[in-house]
Amino acid sequence: MTGIAIAVGAVIRDGQGRVLLVRHRPERKGFWRGKWICPGGGLKLGEEIVAGIEREVAEETGLKIRLDRGLAPFERIVKSGGETRLHVVYIDYLADLVGGDLRPGGDVGEAVWVAPSDLPAMWAELHEDTRKLLKIAGIV
């Protein structure tokens, strides 16, 4: 572990009230591997939070969004063998889709729009941090 990671992202809603979930390409390893998550990624040095969210969403989905409101930040600390392996602070916004064509890109291999009523059926496939984020956003 080299330091604390700042992850920025968005819980994106479309005009039908669905939320966008993405899954990394299978060959990408890491803490979020194989699970559905909300679009986002690492904030770059010198980058403002809003710009980082917009960049990450565009890179991973091809979509343009309008940020609605900031969500309560939270963190994940993963320890193994007495050492911290991961420490990430999540900074996310609730956002609305305003344009673009959904096309997974970057680390993302799959993307789906999901109605909130369908989330319980795929709960086990969501990353535990995504479950927490969706609760903070008031989606579930």
Task: Indicate if the pLDDT at residue 1 is higher than 70.
Answer: no
Q: What is the CATH number of domain 5-136?
A: 3.90.79.10
Distance CA 84, CA 94 (A): 30
98-124 tens-digit pLDDT = 999 999 998 889 999 999 999 999 999
Per the CB < 8 A criterion, the answer to whether 32 and 127 are in contact is yes
Cβ-proximal residues to 7 (8 Å cutoff; 6+ apart), any chain: 40, 41, 42, 43, 88, 89, 90, 91
- At residue 63, the 3 state secondary structure works out as strand
Domain boundaries, the chain: 5-136
The answer to whether the pTM exceeds 0.85 is yes
